[in-house]
Structure 1
Amino acid sequence: MDTRRPLRTLAIALGTAGLLISGCSSGSSTTSASSSAPRAAASPVPAALKTFYAQHLSWRDCGVTGFQCATMKAPLDYAKPDDGEIKLAVSRKRATGPGKRIGSLLVNPGGPGGSAIGYLQGYAAIGYPAQVRARYDMVAIDPRGVARSEPVECLTGPQMDAYTQVDQTPDDAGEVTALSGAFKKFATGCEQRSGEILPHVSTVETARDMDILRALLGDDQLNYVGASYGTFLGATYAELFPARSGRLVLDGAMDPSLPSVEINRDQTAGFETAFQSFAGDCVKKADCPLGTTSASDAANRLKQLFAGLDAKPIPTGGPRKLGESLATTGVIAAMYDESAWPQLREALTAAEKGDGSGLLSLADSYYEREPNGTYANLMYANAAVNCIDLPPAFTTSKAVTQALPTFEKASPVFGKGFAWASLNCAYWPVRATGTPHRIKAEGAAPIVVVGTTRDPATPYKWAKALAGQLSSGTLLTYEGDGHTAYGRGSDCIDTAINTYLLEGTPPSAGKKCS
C-alpha cells in the first residue's frame, strides 16, 4: 500500500493503450483566456534552451485510430542543459470540429506516475465532452520517468509481489525491521535500475517540459486539465510561467504548502471520510458484508477482517494469498469512485467466506499489475516523484511510532497502515529538491480549482487552500463522493468547466454543484 499517491479514478484515468512513439509537426496559435487582471509579461527563452524550443515534432500515426504520436527532447538536467537529454513521448488527437479551433488542450490524470498518453487514448479523447474535443487538439505527454518517457524501474514482478504483501501494520520490532527493509530494497532497486534519471523527475522539471511542448505545438499559452497530482503539476506550471498560462482546470486539487507528514495525515482522514460514506451506504443494504446497523459497526467489522487476515492470509485461487496489506489496498482502491462500491461489497462478502480473489483483484488494479505478473511503472514513478518533490514525512521508525496516535485519530480503520506507509521515502537515494510553499502564480489568467467534498485522496480543504493561494484562483465545489469531479456525471460541474474551456469565463466565485 502506498498512500502518498493521490491518484484519479482507477477505472478510466489509468486506461492504457499500446502505441509506438515516433517523431512530430506543429499547430496554430491558441486563443488566450479572458481576464481583466493584468497579465505578467512572458520571459524570453533562455539561450541554453533555444535548441529544445526550436526542435521540430514530426507526427505520425501511432497505431491507435485517430491518434498521432511523437518524441520530444528535453534537457535531462535543466541546470546543465548541454549535459544530456531525455526523450519524452507525446500523443494527440486533432480537433474534430465544428467550430473554430481554440488550440491544444493538454491533459494529465495524476499519480504521480499515471500515463497521460494512456489517459488520453483510453478516456479523455473519447470521453471529454464533444464540444471540447471539437475545438481543441487533445494532447498528452507522459512525464519524464513515466510509462513511455524513459520509465523509472525498480523491482522485478516477483519482487514487487513480495513488496506489496509486506505487513504495513507492524506489531513488533521484527515486523518493523521487515517493513523498513522492504522500503530500503525498493529504493535500492530504483537506484540500481534507474539511477541516472532519479535526480531529474521532479514536478518542476516536468512543468518545464510542458512549456517546451506548448511552444512546439504552436500555442502562445498552455491550456490544461490536470486531475489529482496533475493539479500540483498545473499549479507549478502557472508559478513558473504565469504569462503563458491559459485556461487551467485543476480538478481534485492538492495543497502545495503542506509538508509530507500533513499530506499523509490529511489523506488518512480523507479515506476515513470516504469509507464512512461507503459504510453508511452499505449498511442500508440487506446483503452488506459489514452488517446492517451503523457505519461505526461496519468499521469495526472491517478492522476485525483485517486483523484476521494479518494473522492468517486466505487463498485467492492463485499462488498469492490475501493478507492484511493487499486487502487494505483493495478497499482503498474502491474508495476512489463510488461506482466501485458494489464490487467492493462483493469482494468483502467473498473474503468473509475465505475467498480473497475479489479484494486481490482490486489491489492489483491499484498497483497496475497484469495477469502475467508484470507491473506498470506507476508505483516506481510515484515514489520517485514524491520523494524528490518533498522531504520525507518520517526518517525513522521511532518518528512513525510517535505520530501513530494522530494518524489513528484521523482514521481508526486505516491510520496505522497509512502512518507506516509514510516511511517509504526515508531511504530514498536522492535528496529531495522541493519544499512546501504557497503558489500564487501572480499574473496568470483565471484558474479554475475543483474540489469534491468527500474526496478520499485529495481532501476538499486542499482545493479550498489552493484556490485561496492562487492570485487568480476560482473554487468550484462538487458536493459528493469520489475522487475528482469533471466528467463523472455532474452536469453542473461539466457545464461550468466546459464554459470556461470554450469561452474563457470561469464559474462565479463560490459556485457549488451536487
Structure 2
Amino acid sequence: MNASIKRVVVATAAAGLLAGGAGAAGAGEVLAWRDCYDGLSCTEIRVPADWGRPDGTTLAVPLLKIPARDRKLGTLLVNPGGPARSIPNFAVPGFREQFADLAARFDVVVFDPRGLDVTCPSPAPEPLPVPLTETAHAAYAAANEKFAADCAAAMGAVRGHLGAGQVAHDMDAIRSRLGEPRLNYFGSSYGTVYGQAYAALFGSRVGRMYLDSALDHTRPDAVAWARAGAVTAERDLFRMARWCAADAGCALHGRDVITVWDRLLTTPEAALVTRWAAARIGDDRGWPALATGLARADAGDTSAMVPRPGPPDTRLARTAFCADFPAPDGFPGLKRVEDELRAAAPRLGWAVQPWRVSGHCSGLPRIGLNPPSALPPMPRVLVANGDDDPLTPAEHGRRVAAQLHGTYLAAAGNHALYLRGNACVRDHVHRWLWAGELPAPGTRCGTPG
C-alpha cells in the first residue's frame, strides 16, 4: 500500500446522516442502490438511533457494494476499522483493490458505523503528552468536556448511542435488508469490536466470520488490556535493533540502537522522542525512517519530530472508542495504569499505550457505555493477529478466539494482515469464507508476503 493510500486508510473520518421522524425501513423494502465511485453502488438504510426504543428517531447507515464477479455465494459485510468512515476512501485509486479477492465470490458490502460523519463545531483537544501529569490531564479533561458539550447539538439523537452494541443491531438490520438468513462478516481492527458485539447478541445468525487484528473487547481491566500491546512494542524496539545491525541501509547501522535510544531518554527532548517513536515502532516498513530520525536526534536535531499542524479533529471517533473502552476515572487511576505499563515495558512500549487507555476518554460524558465483557461460544469464526502488532497484539486475538471457541491463526507481521497483503493469511481467509475450511489447530503464517 503506498503512503497516500495508507494515510487514507488510517485517517479518522466520521459518519451517520442524522434525521428524525419515521421508523426504520422494513426488511421487505427493496434497497435503492445508486452508482458511485466509478462502477460501485451506494445506498443507506435507516435504523433506530436507540435500539432500546425502536419506534423513536432514526438515522441513516451508509452502505457501499462491490458486486461479486463469479458464482456468487451471498453477501459479505465488511468493516475495515477505525472507528472511522471507510466508504469515501473508495474514491482513492487502489483502495478497492484490497477487497477485490473477496468480491470474487461475494457481494462485498461495506458499512460506515453510525455517527462517524458528524462534524463537531469545535475540534477535539490535542492528545495528552507522555508521561502523564496531573496538570496536563486536568486541562485535557476540561477541553474534552467542552468538546463534547459543544458537539451535543450536532450529534443529535446519536448522542449516547455510538457503542458497538448499537452498531451490532445496525449490522443485523443490514443483514435483514439484504435478504440474507445469516451474516457473513469480515472485520479488521476496530471492525473486530463490532464483530464481537454481533457474536454476543446474534451468534445464532452468524454464517462465517473473520476477525483480523482483533481488539479484545472482553477484558475490562485497563492494565491487563494494555499490557500485551506495551510488551509487544518493547519487543519491536529490540527487533528493530537486530534489523539495523544486519542491514547496512539502516541509518544507525554499526551502532547499538538500544544504547542510542537509552542516551536519548536522558536528554531534555526525551518526551518528544518517545512520543514520535511510539507512533512508528509498530510497523516494520517504517523502521528506515524511524532509524534516520533517531540518528538525527542523537546528533542534536529533533526538528523532524516536532508535530506539524494538521487538520482539526472535529469527528467522533474518540467518542465512539470511549463508549466501548471507557477508561478509569481520575488522574490517580490513570497514573497507575501508566506506572504499571512502564514497569512492564520501560523503554518505549509503555508510551504506545497510555493515550489509548486514558487520553481518549478523560472528560467525556459517561453515557451509553458498552464496556468490555465476556463472550459466549460462537465457533464459526476465524481470528488472526500479527505477532508484532502493538495496536492489536496477538494476545488479544488469542483471547477473543478462545472465548468464542473459534479458530486462531497465528501470523508473523503487523496490523491488518489481510488488507496489507499477507498471502498466507489471505489464502486461509478465502478457504474459510468461500469453502468453510478452517486452518488446522496450530497453523501459523510465517514471514509476511
TM range (shorter): 0.7 to 0.9
In the alignment, is the contact (CA less than 8 A) between 2:407 and 2:438 conserved in 1? yes
SS where residue 339 of structure 1 aligns? helix
In the alignment, is the contact (CA less than 8 A) between 2:14 and 2:116 conserved in 1? no
Structure-1 residue corresponding to 2:231: 269
1:422 aligns with 2:332: no
Unaligned regions of 5+ residues in structure 2, if any?
none
Give 1:482 shift. Answer: 1.3
Which of 82, 101, 120 pairs up with 2:55?
82
1:482 aligns with 2:443: no
Structure 1 length as normaliser, TM-score? Answer: 0.74
Q: C-alpha separation between the residues in 1 aligned to 2:356 and 2:225? A: 12
1:51–1:133 CA distance, 2 compared to 1 (3 A)? closer
Give 2:423's aligned amino acid: D
Structure-1 residue corresponding to 2:140: 182
Q: Structure 2 matches for 1:238-253, cutoff 5 A? A: 238-253=199-214
Give 1:138 shift. Answer: 2.0
1:104 aligns with 2:36: no
Which of 226, 241, 261 pairs up with 1:279?
241
Q: Structure 2 matches for 1:38-53, cutoff 5 A? A: 51-53=25-27
Q: C-alpha separation between the residues in 2 aligned to 1:199 and 1:17? A: 19
Q: C-alpha separation between the residues in 1 aligned to 2:238 and 2:244? A: 10
Give 2:358's aligned amino acid: L
Give 1:513's aligned amino acid: C
1:395 aligns with 2:329: yes
Structure-1 residue corresponding to 2:194: 233
Q: C-alpha separation between the residues in 2 aligned to 1:18 and 1:208? A: 19
Q: C-alpha separation between the residues in 1 aligned to 2:13 and 2:71? A: 29
Give 2:244's aligned amino acid: C
SS where residue 199 of structure 1 aligns? coil
Give 1:108's aligned amino acid: N
Q: C-alpha separation between the residues in 2 aligned to 1:342 and 1:247? A: 39
In the alignment, is the contact (CA less than 8 A) between 2:192 and 2:213 conserved in 1? yes
Give 1:420 shift. Answer: 6.6
1:410–1:298 CA distance, 2 compared to 1 (3 A)? farther
Q: C-alpha separation between the residues in 2 aligned to 1:454 and 1:87? A: 37
1:210–1:329 CA distance, 2 compared to 1 (3 A)? farther
Which of 14, 33, 53 pairs up with 2:10?
14
Give 1:338 shift. Answer: 1.8
Structure-2 residue corresponding to 1:37: none
Q: Structure 2 matches for 1:428-443, cutoff 5 A? A: 428-431=364-367, 433-442=369-378
Give 2:166's aligned amino acid: E
Give 1:239 shift. Answer: 1.8
Root mean square deviation of aligned Cα: 3.3
Structure-2 residue corresponding to 1:344: 290
Structure-1 residue corresponding to 2:437: 505
Q: Structure 2 matches for 1:43-192, cutoff 5 A? A: 51-62=25-36, 64-95=37-68, 97=69, 99-111=70-82, 113-118=83-88, 122=92, 125-128=96-99, 130=101, 132-147=102-117, 151=118, 153=120, 155-156=122-123, 160=125, 163-164=126-127, 166-170=128-132, 175-192=133-150
Which of 176, 198, 211 pairs up with 1:215?
176
SS where residue 269 of structure 2 aligns? helix
Give 1:83 shift. Answer: 2.1
SS where residue 86 of structure 1 aligns? strand
Q: C-alpha separation between the residues in 1 aligned to 2:253 and 2:51? A: 56
Q: C-alpha separation between the residues in 2 aligned to 1:109 and 1:328? A: 29
In the alignment, is the contact (CA less than 8 A) between 1:264 and 1:422 conserved in 2? yes
Give 1:358 shift. Answer: 4.5
1:269–1:120 CA distance, 2 compared to 1 (3 A)? farther
Give 1:74's aligned amino acid: V
Q: C-alpha separation between the residues in 2 aligned to 1:104 and 1:350? A: 51
Structure-2 residue corresponding to 1:465: 399
Q: C-alpha separation between the residues in 2 aligned to 1:225 and 1:481? A: 19
Give 1:142 shift. Answer: 0.8
In the alignment, is the contact (CA less than 8 A) between 1:14 and 1:115 conserved in 2? no
In the alignment, is the contact (CA less than 8 A) between 1:347 and 1:356 conserved in 2? yes
SS where residue 383 of structure 2 aligns? strand
1:56–1:335 CA distance, 2 compared to 1 (3 A)? farther
Q: C-alpha separation between the residues in 2 aligned to 1:50 and 1:376? A: 28
In the alignment, is the contact (CA less than 8 A) between 2:175 and 2:181 conserved in 1? yes
1:114–1:251 CA distance, 2 compared to 1 (3 A)? same
Unaligned regions of 5+ residues in structure 1, if any?
1-8, 22-47, 311-323
| 1:394-414: CA deviation from partner (whole Å, max 9, x where unpaired) | 212222334443211222133
Structure-2 residue corresponding to 1:331: 277
In the alignment, is the contact (CA less than 8 A) between 1:169 and 1:420 conserved in 2? no
Q: C-alpha separation between the residues in 2 aligned to 1:416 and 1:214? A: 40
| 1:201-258: CA deviation from partner (whole Å, max 9, x where unpaired) | 0001111111111222222222221112211211211221122212211011122221
Structure-1 residue corresponding to 2:347: 413
SS where residue 107 of structure 1 aligns? strand
SS where residue 454 of structure 1 aligns? coil
1:509–1:192 CA distance, 2 compared to 1 (3 A)? same
SS where residue 227 of structure 2 aligns? helix
1:304–1:109 CA distance, 2 compared to 1 (3 A)? farther
Which of 205, 216, 231 pairs up with 2:166?
205
In the alignment, is the contact (CA less than 8 A) between 2:187 and 2:195 conserved in 1? yes
Give 1:289 shift. Answer: 5.0
Q: C-alpha separation between the residues in 1 aligned to 2:52 and 2:140? A: 33
Structure 2 length as normaliser, TM-score? Answer: 0.84
1:12–1:342 CA distance, 2 compared to 1 (3 A)? farther
Q: C-alpha separation between the residues in 2 aligned to 1:470 and 1:228? A: 17
